Structure 1
Amino acid sequence: MSSTDPLTSNVRPATDSLITVRIIKSFPYRNVKNHIIKDIDLKSTTPKQLLDRIINVINTTGGLRPYRTVEYDTIKIYTKAHGSKSMNLVINFENDDEWVLVSPTITGNDKSLWELGIQNETELSLFKWDDYVEYKANPVEKW
């Protein structure tokens, strides 16, 4: 790859992007399943619409059946394309104020994913907010 080649995250347009959603069932037990969403329009999709879409995928996909027992209510950025990843393999504890896109206190209807800084190849985490707060206060792994 030469220095003139574009980054893979910049090759696809924002109206036809690819993102990875990390569905987190349990923080202490590190139960995480990745779901790749292809062909998403980041400029017209809001975080709330994405939350509803992922919950529908969980409820209709046989391979995600074990993940149906959690009431997911939060989407947070795990890592941006070509950015550094968190040392924690389950969740990124940093930037809660800026990187939480939808939660029990954030509606996620005001701006599009694109306006919130989501680009092609961004990784997002889907989880239950109360479980996150509890795990963040005492991040002990149980396996």
Structure 2
Amino acid sequence: MLLLCVFLDLVSMQGIPPPFKKYSYDTLKISHKAHGAKSNDPVIDIANDQLILEDGVTLVEAGVGNETEISYFKMEDYRKYQADPHLVW
């Protein structure tokens, strides 16, 4: 339910380029909590899979509070990056 709400919000937002609106995102993950340390990974923290939000869990139950940053991505892409975290610029 939460993923559906985030997706519908993303699709309706002004200023979001069409490729991002049409991509099949399926996963939410806490990237950073307020006053906490940030990952050194420039893309997404691949070391802590416990921060991936489970479907059916509310944001409060998942520990999401004020100023928490959440990443929205496709799990298949995340697993590929996790297997080979090499960036090409």
State the match for 1:88 in structure 2: 41
1:74, 1:112 → 2: CA distance?
14
State, as a whole percentage, how many aligned pairs show the same letter: 40
1:138, 1:99 → 2: CA distance?
20
- The unaligned stretches of length 5 or more in structure 2 are none
1:87, 1:136 → 2: CA distance?
14
1:101 corresponds to 2:47? no
1:68 Cα deviation (Å)? 2.4
2:70 to 99, 112, 124: 124
State the match for 1:79 in structure 2: 32
Question: TM-score normalised to the size of structure 2?
Answer: 0.87
Across the aligned residues of Structure 1 and Structure 2, the Cα RMSD in angstroms comes to 1.4
Question: TM-score normalised to the size of structure 1?
Answer: 0.56
Greater C-alpha Rg: 1
1:60 Cα deviation (Å)? 1.9
Structure 1 residue runs of 4+, over 3 Å off? none
Name the structure where strand makes up a greater proportion of residues.
1
Q: Which amino acid aligns with 1:89?
A: P
- The unaligned stretches of length 5 or more in structure 1 are 1-47, 103-107
